[in-house]
Structure 1
């Protein structure tokens, strides 16, 4: 799919930045972008919609 995700909110936490977004099909996605260069965490990605934007 060539439709982009919509960023709903960003929240600074002690572990990094939590980004909530909605993909083209309407499914919610949560990304944790850690401070300090650690490995990120993703919850709820849609297997059918491409993630074509960086959550940062």
Structure 2
């Protein structure tokens, strides 16, 4: 079930995804909501976001 509110510390994760994958904060939040702390899935999804651009 997706989270509707950010968890404590999520902004640090959002910042990490934004800086690592050059995504917008909204895209990063969406990935974190969708995949939780599964960084392998987040990395794969972030790459597909970049491929769509």
TM-score clears 0.5: no
Between structure 1 and structure 2, the one with the greater Rg is 1
TM-score normalised by length of structure 1: 0.21
More strand, by proportion = 1
- Higher share of residues assigned helix: 2
TM-score (norm 2): 0.21
